[in-house]
C-alpha cells in the first residue's frame, strides 16, 4: 500500500492515488516519505480543504525515533552538505549527484531550485557570506578583490534565463551500447533557471583586464571553486576570454537563481554561469577568476569533458589531442510517458524538452510513434521573448492511439543552424560517455 507522512501523522493514500488531481505518477513520488517538501513546491496544496481531505486517510503516528531528525557524522567530509529534496533521483550521495524525475522536469519552464539537477565533484563548501572575497587577476599584476556586497553594488544586475546541461546527461543510454566511465545520468542532468548577477565582462573591464582579445593568440579566463579535494586542489575550469568579454555571450557571476539567493548546492554565494556552454565551465562557489594565456590546468579542463572517436579506449586515449567541450550539440528527450509504460487507448500526450548549445534556438521538434518511419511536428511551448536561445523549449504532441498496439516513441530536435541529432548511439559512443544526444526512444504499450 501507499503511505505518506505529514508532520508526525501517517496516512494510507492508496485509494486516493488515482483521484489525485495532479496525476497518480506525481503523488507516487512522495510515497514512503513526507509530503511537506512536495507541498512546498506546488502551492495548490496549501489550502485547508487539502488537509481535511487527508484526514480521512490517517492510519497512525510516527514513532518518536522515526520522527526525530537523523544525526550527522562529524568525521565525514560530506557531513556539512545541505539537505536535499526527496524527489531527486540520487546517482551518487557523496559527492552529491542527483537529477529530477522526468515527469517533474517538464512540469514548469523554470526548474524549481529544489529540483534543479546537482552535479558536485567534492563536498559542498560552507561559505560565510560576510567574509567572502572574490579574487580577480590578470597579467601585469592587474586585478581586484571583491566582497559579495561590492559585487552586488558596483555592477548592474543582469538577468539571463538559461538552461544548464551536464556533459554526461543521458550517459546511461551510452553505457547500454558499451560500458563507459561516469555517473549513470538518465535524461535529467539538465535544468533551467533565471540567473541574476554581475556580468563577468563588467568585472573584467573594471579590473583593467579587457584588452587581451586576440592579438597574441586566444586567451582564457580560468575559474576556481572553494570546493577542494583531499590534497587541497580546487575544482576548476576555463572559457575563452573572447566569450567572457562578449556582451552578447552574457556570461554571469551569478548570485541569484530564480529570484532567490543561490542555494548551497548550486554555488552559494557566487557561481559562474556560461549560457550555451557545457555545465562543467559554470564553476560554483567561485573563489578566483584569472585571465591567462593558457586554459585552466585543472583535471576537469585537461583530462575530462572531451569527446573522442568510438574506437578510442582507456589504453589509447590522449586527452591532449582533443579540445575541451565548450558549446554543446543539439539535444532533446521525452519526459512523458516513461519507457515501458502502459498508456490508455484514445489520445496520447507526449512531452519533453529540447535545447541546443551556443544560443542556437530550437526551431523544431519531430516526434515519431513508429520508431522513426513517420513523423509529426511537436508543439513548442512559450519561451522568453527577450534574449538568445539560451533556454530550452518544452514541447508536447497529442496523437490518437489504438488499443492493443505497441508504440516506439522517438524525438529529435533541429536548432537554428539546422543541426540535427544522430539517429543512434553507437557511432557517437565515447569512453567517458559525454555528448550523448542520439534520438531519444521510449517504447510503450497501449492498453484496451
Ligand atoms: N563547480 C565547482 N566548484 N565544483 C563542481 O563540482 N561541477 C560542474 C559545474 N561547476 C562543479 C562546478 C559541473 S560538471 C556541472 S554539470 C555544473 O556545475 C552543475 O551545476 P549544478 O549542480 O548547479 O546543476
Ligand atoms: Mo557536468
Q: Is 234 in the pocket of ligand 1 (CB under 6 A)?
A: no
Q: Is 235 in the pocket of ligand 1 (CB under 6 A)?
A: yes
The pLDDT value given to residue 47: 82
Distance from residue 284's CA to the centre of ligand 1 (Å)? 6
Q: Which of 85, 105, 119, 254 has most ligand 1 atoms within 8 Å of CB, for mutation?
A: 119
Task: Please report the atom of ligand 1 found closest to the CA of residue 265.
Answer: 22
The pLDDT value given to residue 213: 62
**Please, what are the domains in the chain?**
3-61 (3.10.120.10), 89-321 (3.90.420.10), 331-446 (2.60.40.650)
Distance from residue 168's CA to the centre of ligand 2 (Å)? 6
Distance from residue 391's CA to the centre of ligand 2 (Å)? 17
Task: Please report the atom of ligand 1 found closest to the CA of residue 117.
Answer: 24
Nearest CA residue ID for atom 24, ligand 1: 118
**Residues β-bridged to residue 123:** none
Q: What is the DSSP letter of 254?
A: E
Q: Which ligand is nearest to the CA of 191?
A: 1
The pLDDT value given to residue 36: 86
Residues annotated as part of the active site? 20, 45, 119, 166, 305
The pLDDT value given to residue 64: 85
Q: How far apart are CA 193 and CA 285, in angstroms?
A: 17
Decide: 208 and 142 in contact? Cβ < 8 Å.
yes
Decide: 283 and 189 in contact? Cβ < 8 Å.
no
Q: Is 286 in the pocket of ligand 1 (CB under 6 A)?
A: no
Residue 440: φ, ψ to 5°: -90, 130
* 448 residues of the chain, pLDDT tens digit each: 999 999 999 999 999 999 998 888 889 989 998 898 888 888 788 788 888 889 999 999 998 888 875 544 557 889 999 999 999 999 999 999 999 999 999 999 999 999 999 999 999 999 999 999 999 999 988 999 999 999 999 999 999 999 999 999 999 999 999 999 999 999 999 999 999 999 999 999 999 998 876 566 799 999 999 999 989 999 999 999 999 999 999 999 999 999 999 999 999 999 999 999 999 999 999 999 999 999 999 999 999 999 999 999 999 999 999 999 999 999 999 999 999 999 999 999 999 999 999 999 999 999 999 999 999 999 999 987 666 899 999 999 999 999 999 999 999 999 999 999 999 999 999 999 999 999 999 999 999 8
Q: Which of 97, 117, 193, 284 has most ligand 1 atoms within 8 Å of CB, for mutation?
A: 284
Q: How far apart are CA 223 and CA 238, in angstroms?
A: 6
The pLDDT value given to residue 3: 94
Q: Which ligand is nearest to the CA of 284?
A: 1
The pLDDT value given to residue 67: 80
Task: Please report the atom of ligand 1 found closest to the CA of residue 227.
Answer: 3
The pLDDT value given to residue 230: 87
Distance from residue 80's CA to the centre of ligand 1 (Å)? 17
Task: Compute how many other C-beta atoms are within 10 angstroms of the C-beta atom of residue 108.
Answer: 13
Q: How far apart are CA 159 and CA 382, in angstroms?
A: 18
The pLDDT value given to residue 364: 98
The pLDDT value given to residue 151: 98
Q: How far apart are CA 422 and CA 433, in angstroms?
A: 15
pLDDT digit string, tens, across residues 362-421? 999 999 999 999 999 999 999 876 668 999 999 999 999 999 999 999 999 999 999 999
Distance from residue 443's CA to the centre of ligand 1 (Å)? 32
pTM of the model: 0.90
Q: Which ligand is nearest to the CA of 122?
A: 1
Judge if ipTM > 0.95. yes
Distances (CA, A) of 120 to 129, 225, 389: 20, 11, 26
Q: Residue 349, CB half-sphere, CA atoms under 13 Å: how many?
A: 5
Query: For cell 498496439, what's the residue?
Result: 405
Nearest CA residue ID for atom 2, ligand 1: 284
Q: Is 395 in the pocket of ligand 1 (CB under 6 A)?
A: no
Residue 117: φ, ψ to 5°: -55, 150
Query: Which of 391, 298, 344, 332 lies closest to 108 in space, CA to CA?
Result: 391
Distance from residue 172's CA to the centre of ligand 2 (Å)? 14
Q: How far apart are CA 141 and CA 63, in angstroms?
A: 62
Q: Is 182 in the pocket of ligand 1 (CB under 6 A)?
A: no
Amino acid at each position: 500500500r501507499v503511505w505518506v507522512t505529514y508532520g508526525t501523522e501517517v496516512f494510507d493514500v492508496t485509494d486516493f492515488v488515482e483521484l489525485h488531481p495532479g496525476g497518480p505518477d506525481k503523488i507516487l513520488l512522495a510515497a514512503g516519505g513526507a509530503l511537506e517538501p512536495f507541498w512546498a513546491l506546488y502551492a495548490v496544496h496549501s489550502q485547508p480543504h487539502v488537509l481535511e481531505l487527508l484526514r480521512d486517510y490517517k492510519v497512525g503516528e510516527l514513532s518518536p525515533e522515526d520522527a526525530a531528525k537523523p544525526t550527522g557524522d562529524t568525521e565525514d567530509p560530506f557531513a556539512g552538505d545541505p539537505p536535499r529534496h526527496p524527489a531527486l533521483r540520487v546517482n551518487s550521495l557523496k559527492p552529491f549527484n542527483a537529477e529530477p524525475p522526468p515527469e517533474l522536469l517538464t512540469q514548469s519552464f523554470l526548474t524549481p531550485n529544489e529540483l534543479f539537477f546537482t552535479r558536485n565533484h567534492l563536498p559542498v563548501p560552507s561559505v560565510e557570506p560576510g567574509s567572502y572575497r572574490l579574487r580577480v587577476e590578470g597579467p601585469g599584476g592587474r586585478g581586484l578583490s571583491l566582497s559579495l556586497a561590492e559585487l552586488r553594488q558596483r555592477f548592474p544586475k543582469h538577468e539571463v534565463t538559461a538552461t544548464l546541461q551536464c556533459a554526461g546527461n543521458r550517459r546511461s543510454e551510452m553505457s547500454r551500447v558499451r560500458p563507459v566511465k561516469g555517473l549513470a545520468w538518465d535524461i535529467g542532468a539538465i535544468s533551467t533557471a533565471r540567473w541574476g548577477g554581475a556580468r563577468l565582462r563588467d568585472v573584467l573591464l573594471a579590473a583593467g583586464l579587457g584588452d587581451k582579445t586576440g592579438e597574441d593568440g586566444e586567451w582564457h579566463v580560468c575559474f576556481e571553486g572553494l570546493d577542494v579535494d583531499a590534497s587541497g586542489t580546487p575544482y576548476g575550469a576555463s572559457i575563452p576570454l573572447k566569450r567572457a568579454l562578449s556582451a552578447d555571450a552574457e556570461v554571469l557571476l551569478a548570485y541569484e537563481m530564480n529570484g532567490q539567493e543561490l542555494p548551497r548546492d548550486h554555488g552559494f554565494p557566487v557561481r559562474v554561469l556560461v549560457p550555451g556552454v557545457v555545465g562543467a565551465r559554470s564553476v560554483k562557489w567561485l573563489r578566483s577568476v584569472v585571465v591567462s594565456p593558457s586554459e585552466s590546468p585543472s583535471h576537469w579542463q585537461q583530462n575530462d569533458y572531451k569527446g573522442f572517436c568510438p574506437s578510442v579506449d582507456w589504453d589509447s586515449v590522449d586527452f591532449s589531442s582533443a579540445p575541451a567541450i565548450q558549446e554543446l550539440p543539439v539535444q532533446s528527450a521525452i519526459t512523458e510517458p516513461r519507457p515501458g509504460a502502459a498508456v490508455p487507448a484514445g489520445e496520447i500526450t507526449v512531452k519533453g524538452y529540447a535545447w541546443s548549445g551556443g544560443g542556437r534556438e530550437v526551431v523544431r521538434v519531430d516526434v515519431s510513434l513508429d520508431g522513426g518511419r513517420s513523423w509529426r511536428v511537436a508543439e513548442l511551448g512559450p519561451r522568453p521573448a527577450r534574449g538568445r536561445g539560451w533556454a530550452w523549449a518544452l514541447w508536447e504532441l497529442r496523437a490518437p492511439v489504438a488499443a492493443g498496439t505497441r508504440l516506439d516513441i522517438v524525438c529529435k530536435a533541429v536548432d537554428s543552424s539546422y543541426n540535427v541529432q544522430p539517429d543512434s548511439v553507437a557511432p557517437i559512443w565515447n569512453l567517458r560517455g559525454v555528448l550523448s544526444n542520439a534520438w531519444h526512444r521510449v517504447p510503450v504499450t497501449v492498453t484496451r
